[in-house]
Amino acid sequence: MPIVSNLPKAALIAIALGCTSLGSPLSAMAEDVTLDVMYPWPESKSFHEPLAQSFMAANPDIKIKFRLSPPDYTEATLAIARGALTGDLPDVYFSGYSELNAMVETLSKRKQTVPLTPFIEAEGSDWISENFGQALLALGQVDGTQYAIPFNASTPIVYFNADLVKQAGHDPDAFPKDWDGLIKLAQDIGALGNGISGMDFSVGAIESDWDWQATVLSLGGEMVSADGRTVGFDNQIGLDAMKLLQRIANDTKMNVAAKASAYQQQFFAGKLGFFVTSPSSVANFTKTVGGRFEMRTATFPIAAKTGGLPTGGNAVAITAKDQKHRDAAWKYVKFVTGPESQAFVARSTGYMPTNLKAGDTLKEFYAQNSTYATAFKQVGFARPWYSYPRGNSKEIWAAQRQVFDQLQRGSITPEDGLKRLVDATNSLLQN
Amino acid sequence: MTAISQDTMGRYGAMAARARSEQMAFWCIGPAVFLIVVTTVVPFATVLAFSFTDYQLGDAGLNWVGLANFSKALGDPQVRQAVTNTFLFAGMVVPTTVVLALFFALLVNSRTVTRRFYELVFFLPITATMPVMSLVWSFILHDRIGPIARLLQYFELPAIGFFSDPDFALGSIALIAIWQHTCFCFIIFLAGLTTIPKEMYEAAALDGADRGWEKFRRITWPQLAPTTLVAALLTTIRTFQVFELVVVLTSGGPAGRSQVILYKTYLEAFSYLRIGYGSALTLIFVAMVCAISLVQFRIARRQQAA
């Protein structure tokens, strides 16, 4: 007796329909799309997971499957390079702004890039202008082409221990807005003794040139010349930036750190007045500090009228192979960069919302949570975080950070430091 | 005729049995050889091949550059600094580790009741993962809030930037490595000490060598020579492989003063994506470890021959 004859008739019909027919309910189930999504920073799971759940509830035919999250933007770029080689790219990828050049360069070698222009055009002429400001949108462009939509955005802000500020005789509500004021405050906090330091702005301690770019841009400078061939800080502004960094270290008796974790540990122990980092950590830092002291945030000092700040964060790109997955991926991109999603991310982290409409939703939240509002106050100063060509940024930074370390320790003069910085950067730019 | 055929058959039979036996032997070692080829020979050959190219991860093609990567490495000041730092680090860690481990092993070996307790105490650090222990050490040696910093403050002594001061960074990492490797070597030495026959000490005592130093010089130390070689060799190799400590505690800073060869290789291959150059640095690292191991073997053989 043939085995198939034992199967129920209905099952046979269902299999036949599933194999042959189009447009039936069974084939609709087969049409379900699963999107492979990769985002860096595993701790970002706290907002990526809820967003994906909401998206899947609204779009039952699209499933979101997260890949293992790389620990940082550099590792994520590496994962993308490997995926490009083996043909195993995710469908949606959250690329650091500073890594977007490298991503496009890597993918274009195998014609794997997916420009978003057709998707944006299909949304109608007003969609972009209604949802995104041009300055932020530019963060997702490479050579004028939109490859990604900004998702997380942050400019450096100051985190301070309000209790120490009070103990030093200052008013936390009138936190200084310029470097002179900050240096004076740091001196007064440092004078409290008992192992307490005033401030830490060890530019060479972090794993990117974000603080250095913030210093130069806030003084009105540029990172590279107009033609992109040489550095843009080989001038008076560059020298002023170097002098400022050395003065901060000398005048406040700053303990120059080799790693950012050193001064963050000190801050959490209640032994550091203030330091600079991304607003993305507001929620996490608030939890870590708990009730030990009052943590607040303040804007980064911007000295020049034309000054700005480099924007960190990441943009969401499509790296799917086929059109079906690309269409589904675009729905996901629109969802996570939409006003509700952006407001949710801003509330759960401290990131600036990238969607213009999210600002209205967040007005009340910011009024009640001033610690979270600081990043939003700086939106107008957001400038692109300059990324050196040919993925050279990391190597250039490895050379530059050594100069900053010596500069802030007082081993070299600002003039010598600038010369070494310019020479090292230019030689790597022209490699 | 019958005798010849029986003889011939016997010979063929023996040959066939031998062939079967050899075939069986090949089948038996086959999986092991396959695994070695797949996990060691092929990756090593790939690294060797890449080291002669300019391949960058993600590139669609590559170019043969001959020995250019090796000559670039020889002239690269950062590589020179990394190699120098690695040797300095090994110079601090290996002798200190071997001496301390031997000292503690001798002390514990003479214990009877508390021996198990000490064995456990010394074995615990081996079970701890280095990245996690690095974080613990980063707090212990924190230059402001760590317990040692607080002690220095109490005695009104100047603060020491264990990881942030260029003069201390490498030494601080070496201190942690000594802590970790001493425990490992201690176990090796303790095992070595148990293999020395008690009769030798008894015979030496009859000959007048009954004092601690005499017993150590004339019996323990010569008998422990092979163990010392193993301990020194393993510590050297593990010391040259220092990586996690540098990543977690200093990222090679400040100003490259704790940059080591493996971290530099990692940066080139996985951060700057220069697989060709990174492969060349890997081979230089392997050559360094092989050369040092050979020198240690030679010295040990000469000592044994003497």
Pull the structure tokens for residue A114.
């997916």
CATH number at residue A348: 3.40.190.10
pLDDT number for residue B6: 66
pLDDT number for residue A77: 87
Q: B161: which chain A residues are within 8 Å (Cβ-Cβ)?
A: 255-256
Q: A258: which chain B residues are within 8 Å (Cβ-Cβ)?
A: 163-164, 169, 249-251, 253-254, 258
Tell whether A26 is covered by a domain.
no
Q: B258: which chain A residues are within 8 Å (Cβ-Cβ)?
A: 258
| A342 and A252 housed in the same domain | no
| A283 and A338 housed in the same domain | no
CB contact under 8 A, B159 and A391: no
C-alpha gyration radius of chain B: 27
Model confidence, pTM: 0.80
| A85 and A184 housed in the same domain | no
Q: A265: which chain B residues are within 8 Å (Cβ-Cβ)?
A: 138-139, 142, 145
At A223, phi and psi to the nearest 5?
Answer: -80, -35
Among A345, A360, A379, the domain boundary falls at: A379
Q: Does A398 touch chain B (CB under 8 A)?
A: yes
Model confidence at B2, pLDDT cuts 50, 70, 90, reads low
Q: B159: which chain A residues are within 8 Å (Cβ-Cβ)?
A: 255
Q: B148: which chain A residues are within 8 Å (Cβ-Cβ)?
A: none
Say which of A194, A391, A409 has its CB closest to residue B273: A391
Domain count, chain A: 2
Residue A15 has pLDDT above 50, yes or no: no
Size of interface A-B (CB pairs under 8 A): 87
Between A56 and B10, name the one with better pLDDT.
A56
Average pLDDT, rounded, for chain A: 89
Q: A194: which chain B residues are within 8 Å (Cβ-Cβ)?
A: 153
CB contact under 8 A, A255 and B144: yes
Q: Strand A295-299's sheet: what is its strand order?
A: A197-200, A272-277, A157-161, A295-299
| A266 and A389 housed in the same domain | yes
pLDDT number for residue A98: 84
Say which of B161, B253, B273 has its CB closest to residue A255: B161
Tell whether A364 is covered by a domain.
yes
CB contact under 8 A, A195 and B60: no
DSSP annotation of A322 reads: S
| A209 and A277 housed in the same domain | yes
Residue A96 makes CB contacts below 8 A (sequence gap 6+) with: A40, A73, A76, A77, A312, A313, A314
Tell whether A90 is covered by a domain.
yes
Model confidence at B92, pLDDT cuts 50, 70, 90, reads very high
> Per-residue pLDDT averaged across A314-323, rounded?
95
The enclosing H or E element of A160 equals strand A157-161
Model confidence at A123, pLDDT cuts 50, 70, 90, reads very high
Say which of A109, A395, A401 has its CB closest to residue B272: A395
pLDDT tens readout for residues A339-378: 999 999 999 998 999 999 998 889 999 999 999 999 988 9
Nearest Cα of chain B lies from the Cα of A281 at a distance, in angstroms, of 20
8 A C-beta contact, residue B252 and residue B246: yes
| A261 and A393 housed in the same domain | yes
The region that residue A313 occupies, defined by phi over 0 for left and psi between -120 and 50 for alpha, beta otherwise, is left
Tell whether A411 is covered by a domain.
yes
CB contact under 8 A, A257 and B164: yes
Strands A145-146 and A141-142, by their bridges, are: antiparallel
Nearest Cα of chain A lies from the Cα of B270 at a distance, in angstroms, of 7
At A137, phi and psi to the nearest 5?
Answer: -60, -35
Q: B57: which chain A residues are within 8 Å (Cβ-Cβ)?
A: 78, 81-82, 85
Residues of B with CB under 8 A from a CB of A: 57-60, 138-139, 142-145, 149-150, 153, 159, 161, 163-164, 166, 169, 249-251, 253-256, 258, 267, 270-273
| A355 and A297 housed in the same domain | no
Which of A201, A255, A292, A421 best probes binding to B when mutated, by most B CB atoms within 10 angstroms? A255
| A226 and A272 housed in the same domain | yes
**Residue in chain B lying closest to A256 (CA):** B164
Model confidence at B4, pLDDT cuts 50, 70, 90, reads low
| A67 and A133 housed in the same domain | yes
Which of B265, B271, B274, B275 best probes binding to A when mutated, by most A CB atoms within 10 angstroms? B271
Taking alpha carbons only, the member of A224, A239, A259 closest to residue A392 is A224
**In percent, how much of chain A has pLDDT > 70?**
92
Pull the structure tokens for residue B234.
């393993």
> Per-residue pLDDT averaged across A303-326, rounded?
94
CB contact under 8 A, B163 and A258: yes
Q: A106: which chain B residues are within 8 Å (Cβ-Cβ)?
A: 58
8 A C-beta contact, residue A314 and residue A39: yes
pLDDT tens readout for residues B120-153: 888 888 888 888 888 899 899 988 888 998 899 8
Tell whether A67 is covered by a domain.
yes
pLDDT tens readout for residues B242-274: 999 999 899 887 888 999 999 999 999 988 889
8 A C-beta contact, residue B250 and residue B219: no
Say which of B139, B142, B271 has its CB closest to residue A74: B271
ipTM of predicted assembly, 2 dp: 0.72
pLDDT number for residue A226: 78
Q: B58: which chain A residues are within 8 Å (Cβ-Cβ)?
A: 81, 84-85, 105-106, 109
> Per-residue pLDDT averaged across B105-126, rounded?
86
> Per-residue pLDDT averaged across A161-187, rounded?
97
| A74 and A137 housed in the same domain | yes
Domain that holds residue A132: 32-154+312-379
At B246, phi and psi to the nearest 5?
Answer: -70, -45
Cis peptide bond N-terminal to B254, omega within 30: yes
Q: Does A342 touch chain B (CB under 8 A)?
A: no
Tell whether A2 is covered by a domain.
no
> Per-residue pLDDT averaged across A209-221, rounded?
96
The DSSP annotation for B235-269 comes to: HHHHHHT--HHHHHHTTT-STTTT--HHHHHHIII
| A43 and A172 housed in the same domain | no
Tell whether A186 is covered by a domain.
yes
Nearest Cα of chain A lies from the Cα of B97 at a distance, in angstroms, of 27
Residue B47 has pLDDT above 90, yes or no: yes
Q: Does A56 touch chain B (CB under 8 A)?
A: no
Nearest Cα of chain B lies from the Cα of A409 at a distance, in angstroms, of 9
Q: B169: which chain A residues are within 8 Å (Cβ-Cβ)?
A: 258
Q: A405: which chain B residues are within 8 Å (Cβ-Cβ)?
A: 166, 253-255
CA distance A389 to A425: 12
CB contact under 8 A, B254 and A204: yes
**In percent, how much of chain B has pLDDT > 90?**
49
Residue A11: CB atoms within 10 Å: 10
Average pLDDT, rounded, for chain B: 88
pLDDT number for residue B110: 82
Model confidence at A74, pLDDT cuts 50, 70, 90, reads confident
Q: Does A401 touch chain B (CB under 8 A)?
A: yes
Q: A74: which chain B residues are within 8 Å (Cβ-Cβ)?
A: 271
Tell whether A242 is covered by a domain.
yes
CB contact under 8 A, A82 and B57: yes
| A367 and A321 housed in the same domain | yes
A15-19, A43-47, A100-104, A218-222: range with lowest mean pLDDT: A15-19
CB contact under 8 A, A255 and B143: yes
Taking alpha carbons only, the member of B111, B123, B102 closest to residue B189 is B102
CB contact under 8 A, A258 and B58: no
